[in-house]
Amino acid sequence: MADGDIKSEELGQIRIERPFYEDKQLRQDFCYEKPIKQNVAQKCSQEFRLSKFLVGVIPVVGWLPKYNWKNDLVKDIISGVTVAIMHIPQGMAYAMLGNVPAVVGIYMAFFPVLIYFILGTSRHNSMGTFSVACLMTGKAVLQYSDPGYFASSSIDTPSNSTEMEITGYSPIQVATAVTFIVSLFQVAMYVLRLGVISALLSETLVSGFTTGAAIHVLISQVKDLFGLNIPKSKGNFSNIYTIIAVFGELVNTNVAALVVSIVTITISAINNDHFKPLFAKVSPFPFPMELLAVVVGTVVSKYCYLEETYGVQTVGDIPVGLPDPTVPQFSLLPNLIVDGITISIVSYTINLSMALIFAQKLNYEVDANQELLAMGLSNVFGSFFSCMPVCASLSRSLIQQVVGGVSQLASIVSCLILLVILLWVGPFFEPLPRAVLAGVIVVALKGMLLQVLEFWKFWKLSKVDALVWMGTFLTVVLINIDIGLLCGVVLSLAAILFLSFKPHTCLLGHVPNTDFYLDIARYKAAKEVEGIKIFHYSGGINFATKSIFKSDLIRLIGINPQKEVVYRAKLAKYLGKADDQLHKSANLTGKLEKVQGKVNTKLRCLILDFSSVSHIDPSGVSMLKSVVENFTKLDIPVYIASCKEPVYEMLTKVYPDFVTKLGFRSFPTVYDAVHYSTELFLSSSNSTISTVRL
């Protein structure tokens, strides 16, 4: 019979025997030695071996020589072609969110992707445009671009353009400056190994933030859906101003643009909900409805003269060829620091989240810090070629994986196809109605908008998380995206702080015929050991929580040692009176009975279960020393059980004589502590201490 085939009834016959241990003896017998931390020079010597350095910093050097060209190349070609088809409508649509020409979205799917192919560790992330990152960039573009450039292009003019300062910067110059400063932050985060900073953006925060950003995107597209000529609002509360302006201009709705929007949304939605699942059963490739909508919309607009006859706004000029490399406007960088920080963190977090999803699903590794370098240098390169900050798209990445993509070679195939678009096909899309792109964006937002239902999931799981979600969502929607992100981070940190002030405490009881000690409030089979209180504390003990530890301990065991000392002193005083005085004084007799009712004579030992104590600081040690001293004065020994090594080391580091002077003892398990206390009590009652067998 295999080791894993032990039957449950046989488990009940297993007995484990070992000697009785205290922590001090355990450390001696099993050769405990504190790990030696490596110095900076040793770490660097290990990190920067040439072969390890090349594979770590340039991952393509590691995986490309092992690539299975025979079996995987066809899969990556098919995946790359499919993703390229998606890049065209998404790139053009999301570029409009960034208040830059539509062709910028195609640039973003070409230039930065070449760098990510070399440096990225995710095999399936499809880099390029992403709605939230583009929208956040568009906010900065709107704020710092010269309004004259908006008026001379197909990009919407800001609402207060007449009052705006003449900056002399074009939207592309502002966008590339944002990209460059985002790259600086991401590279700096890589150098400082701050990949873990994404942990600050919890699932709750990201859900609330992206849902709120989706509302931003939706509201920004309303004017194109209705064909309204509404200037874009900038600054805080822009959504509110936009909604007010929309209601004021509804009478001027362009019927032709509205019809185009309705047709695009209806067909795309029906395709996603009905045709796409059916099509997936007969073909591994998704039906390119978005591209078809763009192509048909362009053809209809051109030959039905929608712009000239009905005043439908179109994409406008799309230049042929690749953009000339241009140095970003460094003079703009000081003004874009806040935008750069928020965009770099948001885009990195979303990118890493998607990378980890695919890595876990397909069983390969993703390096969080390497992703920072890959994104940072991709953005550096992109900033010289008219690109906004790049990020992975969930829809494109999912398609890249579903249709069989194996590696980032799929992205290179996609880049080659987009190169053809940029060199020859681009001008074909100039008559494309903006209403079509708005419809594509709205349909693509469905998944993000449905995240609003996650609020109820968080509400059921944790009220604190639900408040973080709602606070982030409302701030993003009502005020602004960057303020919403800051609010979400602050709320998340406040939630962590709040929860740290609510450590779990309970009393443990023994389950008969086992070595289990469980919460007596939750397990009815667990019974308190006579004369022993076992206090369980879960969390860290520090300057902020030490008072909580002490108050919960006193509340649960029912003894305040400082008051107990006073009660016992009074009891000794009253008992010292002559018996005849007691009989003569009814008042003295009443006092004696009252004090005797307060004095606890049943507790002979207190055990502190530290199995869930993660950390203790010097303030916590001082508090613990005070607790031990106070109970020792009452002849109640205090033992610690299941103390983690770092906690034990801190105890002995702060007070080296903790054991010798206070009689403090530490045991590897609660079972050892209870049996030591029991045998010691029996020994004091003329019994002998025997070896404890488990």
pLDDT reported for residue 599? 54
pLDDT reported for residue 149? 63
- Averaged pLDDT for residues 70-97: 91
Q: Does the pLDDT at position 272 exceed 80?
A: yes
Whether the CB-CB separation of 552 and 537 falls below 8 Å is answered with: yes
pLDDT band at 263 (very low <50, low <70, confident <90, very high): very high
**Three-state helix/strand/coil letters over 71-96:** HHHHHHHHHHHHHHHHHHHHHHHHHH
Q: What is the mean pLDDT of the chain?
A: 83
Specify the amino acid at residue 178. V
Of residues 280 and 419, the one with the higher pLDDT is 419
pLDDT band at 658 (very low <50, low <70, confident <90, very high): low
pLDDT band at 688 (very low <50, low <70, confident <90, very high): very low
What distance in Å separates the CA atoms of residue 448 and residue 266, rounded to the nearest whole number?
Answer: 18
Q: Does the pLDDT at position 670 exceed 80?
A: yes
- For residue range 447-478, list pLDDT tens digits in order: 888 889 989 988 998 888 999 999 999 999 99
pLDDT reported for residue 694? 38
DSSP letter at 402?
H
Question: Which of 343-347, 396-400, 662-666 is predicted least confidently?
Answer: 662-666
Nearest to 466 by CA among 477, 478, 476, 453: 453
- Averaged pLDDT for residues 207-227: 90
- For residue range 585-616, list pLDDT tens digits in order: 555 555 555 555 555 567 888 999 999 998 99
- Averaged pLDDT for residues 331-357: 91
Question: Which of 129-133, 291-295, 305-309, 566-570 is predicted least confidently?
Answer: 566-570
What distance in Å separates the CA atoms of residue 308 and residue 302, rounded to the nearest whole number?
Answer: 10
DSSP letter at 421?
I
DSSP letter at 656?
T
- For residue range 177-193, list pLDDT tens digits in order: 999 999 999 999 999 88
pLDDT reported for residue 628? 87
pLDDT band at 8 (very low <50, low <70, confident <90, very high): very low
572: how many CB neighbours lie within 10 A of its CB? 11
- Averaged pLDDT for residues 336-351: 92
Q: Does the pLDDT at position 518 exceed 70?
A: yes
- Averaged pLDDT for residues 651-658: 77
Element (H, E) at 374: helix 368-383
Question: Which of 376-380, 393-397, 595-599, 689-693 is predicted least confidently?
Answer: 689-693
Element (H, E) at 613: strand 605-616
pLDDT band at 289 (very low <50, low <70, confident <90, very high): confident
pLDDT band at 374 (very low <50, low <70, confident <90, very high): very high
pLDDT reported for residue 58? 87
- For residue range 22-49, list pLDDT tens digits in order: 767 776 766 767 666 655 555 555 555 5
Reading phi first (left if > 0) and then psi (alpha if -120 to 50, else beta), residue 396 is in alpha
pTM above 0.85, yes or no: no
Strand pairing category for 605-616 and 532-541 = parallel
- For residue range 538-580, list pLDDT tens digits in order: 988 988 889 999 999 999 988 888 777 676 676 666 666 545 5
The DSSP line for 566-577 is HHHHHHHHHHTS
What whole-number percentage of the chain has pLDDT above 90?
41
649: how many CB neighbours lie within 10 A of its CB? 13
What are the C-alpha distances in Å from 443 to residues 137, 395, 669, 689? 21, 12, 58, 76
What are the C-alpha distances in Å from 582 to residues 124, 333, 354, 571? 88, 88, 80, 13
pLDDT reported for residue 317? 86
Q: What phi and psi values does residue 328 have, to the nearest 5 degrees?
A: -60, 155
pLDDT reported for residue 16? 56
Reading phi first (left if > 0) and then psi (alpha if -120 to 50, else beta), residue 227 is in left
pLDDT reported for residue 57? 79
Task: Compute the CA torsion angle 68, 72, 73, 76 (nearest 10 deg).
Answer: -140
